[in-house]
Structure 1
Amino acid sequence: MIKMKALIISDYDSRISWSCGFAARLKVNGFSNTFVSLNPNDNIDSLRIYRYLDEIYYVQSLQELSTLLSDEFSLVILAVGGTMHLKIYDIFQAVYFLSEIRPILISGFNGIEDVSDPEGVFCRSISDYICVNNSDFYEYASKILKDRNLSSQLFRTGFIRDYWDTEFEKAHNITNVMFILQPGILDHHKQLEHLGMWLLDYSQRYPKRNIILKARGRKGIEHVNSKHEKNYFHDFWNDFCGNLDSRVSIVYGEMEDILPNVDLVISYTSTSLLEALIVGKKTAAISDFGISKSIGNVYLSDSNLLISTNDVLDDKIPEVNLNWYQRWCCYNGDLVDELIDRSYKDFEAQYKHGKLNFIDGYYSEKNHPYLFRFRYFDTESKSSSDPGMKNILNRIKIFFKDIF
């Protein structure tokens, strides 16, 4: 073995949870882990992932990221969203262009995958390996890569979270109920009123049950839905259900820490539904608003989990369709270990057979110029959801500065 050091790059929310599960398996396989947070305001040492890390860095810009990439890493794990893959890969190629070897690049999907949307595959097609959860999506993505002669390899790792060695007690009685709203989805006043009045009925029907309103992020830490979530849960309860009482709480934190104390998880769409199922919690998905891509619950259509709020009120909690469960909720650390082993062997082989070629992704500046504007223009924008992008040096400015 030459070196077993991994660099993990991530930013927010469930992407960090995905990173945590991957970091845990890397540790099991003897790796030293360095974590780079693209959110400079985060506090990684307060999270579960901290126990699996040897070094942590926070970057204000991607320009700083280029100073952290080095020949000491054998694997680079990307747990980011969308076109951020393209921006990081641009730096990856520049840093390792003259190197005799390069790290193996791994990306993946942190939760729900859409079998009608190729965008995620296109963005991640710069990777040596793409981790996939759902078996249907694996077939869908395989066809996308094959039809376009893309050389990225898919690997079905299943759902990746930090539950590898955790045993959850299965509750027979329901005491703690977690309701997961999604700020930015079903935000119309009448929709919220419908949910609020039902939740009020639920709290009155079951006076001995505690209700947890789960916030997406962590309090005081920016995340992808921060602009939607500010005061969202207090306003929701106060506007539609009355003042918060002692049985209702708003919880900020990691699902891994909250789930052990929850007996029933309710939402209309959330990756947390998959997490709850994997650890054996009672789970229900609200069907009142229909099934649509805009709600994000199409993947639940044949799960048997979709029920009305009236059924939830009557405690008619469904049993998951086992066929659907096997497709969506594969959870096996051995699969991740297999990918890590294969990736490391690919890395080692470079010492004998020479440096691996860089992967040509689907997106190119020639055919998709807007996606590569970051090469020439400052991408700082109030509407941008990409973290760590502030103060990126403008290449055109540098060019003229060198001239004058």
Structure 2
Amino acid sequence: MPTSTSEAVRVAVLADSDTRWKWGALTARRIAPSTSVELSGFLLRGRATPTARQLAEVGVRADALREVTGNEFLRTMKDEPYDIVVLALVGGAVQAMLHGLAALALPRRPVVVTGYVGVVYEKLSDGLLLRHGADVVLANSRHDADRFRAVYEGVGADASAVTEAALPFLGGEPYAPKDDRDTLVFAAQPSVPASRADRTYLLRRLVEHARLHPKREVLLKLRSKPGEHTTHIEELPYQKLADKLPGGLPPNFRLVYGHMGDVLDRTDLLVTVSSTAALESLHRRIPTAVLTDFGVREALGNHHFLGSGLMASWDQLDGGHRPTPDAEWLAGQGVAADGSYDSAFDEVRKRVAELLLVPSLPAPAPYYTPSTAPGYLPGILARHHLAPDGTPLPGSAVTTEVSGVRRVVREAVREVARGAYRHGVQRVAPVIRRMGEL
């Protein structure tokens, strides 16, 4: 346990995608009550395990980084002392790790922190209750903190873990328009909208906007390349749709990758359906628009921006409209455009420091137990090879780490399996779905 702000705090981050790794690693550095952090990264093996390219694009480095199963991570927690563990995972995986940590019965366990990587617009109750049991459940805004506490209190669960902070990756210079620059950026999302027709429509409107404004640079900001997965599955990559677009692409239209912050450095209007990039843009006071072309619907997530003043359609944007954000709405969303971002993590840093001083924290006590959710919890734990009591299922024990040729072969087999899965998601599944619609 660190005893001063200069002593290194040992933090482990377990993440299951590139975006969650970014959130988890940056959160770890912001919440640690020390100027020195020893950061160990663990990537949960699965369909969305980030590639080397995705990790490089995220640009967040760790002192050590390796791929693990859930049981391998738990074994590491038993063998190696950590002060803080950040669970940057989907809700079910968080719940499994909480039960797994409880089953370890460590004499001194780490402080466990979890939260959300961005806008919480779906499965609010389900996701929150699956995260219950962590010492700290981070809320990215006052709006989220109020909602999170209401959910926990609504089922009679302890809500004291909910702690208001902000998204850890907000930053960059405030927006300053330039006479020689006019750039519109559309922040794409892997699963919103989902259908081929809707995604083709979006691409067509972007291209038409570029043709309508030939002196404006129009950029389609993509999260991943075909064959890669991120937090959500992308069945219909825009790259492939663009190849089939009639008439081709105009010279002032480009598909771009890279760090979102670097793209925002040259953005004069950010457009999205419901991406968290909108909050990054608003933090910098960049003009921002949330599309209404597909309606304002819970399934799209743009209902989160009700009252924001940001709603607009492509017809309005084509005509030169620039939304003006509502100041009261902004104040509740944690974008800290008022300059208060530097103090946004003070509360959680103080809370973590207090927990680190507790000689022996009690075992995590999630709301879901074999008694409160006997028809739900066992299935969640089994997906992560854990029994209902949080112990490893028979046959899922951690194997000895292999090296040399065996390791190369094993990694090659894993990549082939991932490639087959991605092929099924992006090629086979859409064909079957279309056949079913005939």
Q: TM-score, normalised by structure 1?
A: 0.83
Q: Percent identity?
A: 20
Contact in 1 for aligned 2:191/2:233 (Cα 8 Å): no
Worse overlay, 78-87 or 244-253: 244-253
Change (3 A) 1:94 1:218: farther
Q: In structure 1, what is the Cα distance between the partners aligned to 2:396 and 2:16?
A: 27
Matched, 1:395 2:401: no
* Aligned with 2:70 (options 54, 57, 62): 62
- Once the two structures are TM-superposed, the CA of residue 103 in structure 1 deviates from its matched residue by 0.9
Q: What whole-Å deviation, never above 9, does each CA across 1:37-65 have from its counterpart, x for those lacking one? A: 225553376245534x2222222x21221
What residue number does 1:255 align with?
260
Change (3 A) 1:316 1:374: closer
Contact in 1 for aligned 2:24/2:88 (Cα 8 Å): yes
Q: In structure 2, what is the Cα distance between the partners aligned to 1:182 and 1:47?
A: 16
Q: TM-score, normalised by structure 2?
A: 0.77
Worse overlay, 216-225 or 147-156: 216-225
Change (3 A) 1:45 1:18: closer
Contact in 1 for aligned 2:42/2:65 (Cα 8 Å): yes
Q: In structure 2, what is the Cα distance between the partners aligned to 1:256 and 1:194?
A: 27
Q: What whole-Å deviation, never above 9, does each CA across 1:118-175 have from its counterpart, x for those lacking one? A: 1121011121111102323322221222243323511110222152xx3244224552
Worse overlay, 235-244 or 196-205: 235-244
Change (3 A) 1:342 1:30: farther
What residue number does 1:365 align with?
370
Matched, 1:299 2:304: yes
What residue number does 2:422 align with?
none
Contact in 2 for aligned 1:377/1:394 (Cα 8 Å): no
Q: In structure 1, what is the Cα distance between the partners aligned to 2:122 and 2:328?
A: 17
Change (3 A) 1:42 1:90: farther
Contact in 2 for aligned 1:212/1:251 (Cα 8 Å): yes
Letter of the 1:185 counterpart: V
What residue number does 1:156 align with?
164
**Structure 1 residue matching 2:124: 3-state secondary structure:** coil
Q: In structure 1, what is the Cα distance between the partners aligned to 2:231 and 2:250?
A: 29
Worse overlay, 279-288 or 17-26: 17-26
Matched, 1:113 2:120: yes
What residue number does 2:215 align with?
208
Worse overlay, 17-26 or 86-95: 17-26
Q: In structure 2, what is the Cα distance between the partners aligned to 1:338 and 1:371?
A: 32
> Where do 4+ consecutive residues of structure 1 move more than 6 Å?
none
Matched, 1:73 2:82: yes
- Once the two structures are TM-superposed, the CA of residue 280 in structure 1 deviates from its matched residue by 2.2
> Any residues of structure 2 matched to 1:1-400 within 5 Å, and which?
1-2=2-3, 4-26=9-31, 29-39=35-45, 42-43=51-52, 46-51=56-61, 53-59=62-68, 61-70=69-78, 72-95=81-104, 97=105, 99-114=106-121, 117-151=124-158, 152-161=160-169, 163=171, 166-172=172-178, 175-217=182-224, 221-229=228-236, 232-240=237-245, 242-331=247-336, 332-350=341-359, 355-366=360-371, 367-373=373-379, 375-376=381-382, 395-397=393-395
Q: In structure 1, what is the Cα distance between the partners aligned to 2:383 and 2:289?
A: 46
Q: In structure 1, what is the Cα distance between the partners aligned to 2:227 and 2:22?
A: 18
Structure 1 unaligned segments of length 5 or more: list them: 380-392, 400-404
Number of equivalences: 374
- Once the two structures are TM-superposed, the CA of residue 83 in structure 1 deviates from its matched residue by 0.5
Change (3 A) 1:328 1:377: closer
Worse overlay, 306-315 or 175-184: 175-184
Contact in 2 for aligned 1:180/1:266 (Cα 8 Å): yes
CA RMSD of aligned residues (A): 2.8
**Structure 2 residue matching 1:141: 3-state secondary structure:** helix
Contact in 2 for aligned 1:76/1:104 (Cα 8 Å): yes
Q: In structure 1, what is the Cα distance between the partners aligned to 2:321 and 2:332?
A: 24
Letter of the 2:60 counterpart: Y
**Structure 2 residue matching 1:328: 3-state secondary structure:** coil
Worse overlay, 120-129 or 356-365: 356-365
Change (3 A) 1:38 1:116: closer
Q: In structure 1, what is the Cα distance between the partners aligned to 2:358 and 2:321?
A: 55
What residue number does 2:419 align with?
none
Change (3 A) 1:282 1:172: farther
Worse overlay, 283-292 or 6-15: 6-15
Worse overlay, 2-11 or 289-298: 2-11
- Once the two structures are TM-superposed, the CA of residue 88 in structure 1 deviates from its matched residue by 1.5
**Structure 1 residue matching 2:297: 3-state secondary structure:** coil
Q: In structure 1, what is the Cα distance between the partners aligned to 2:31 and 2:51?
A: 23
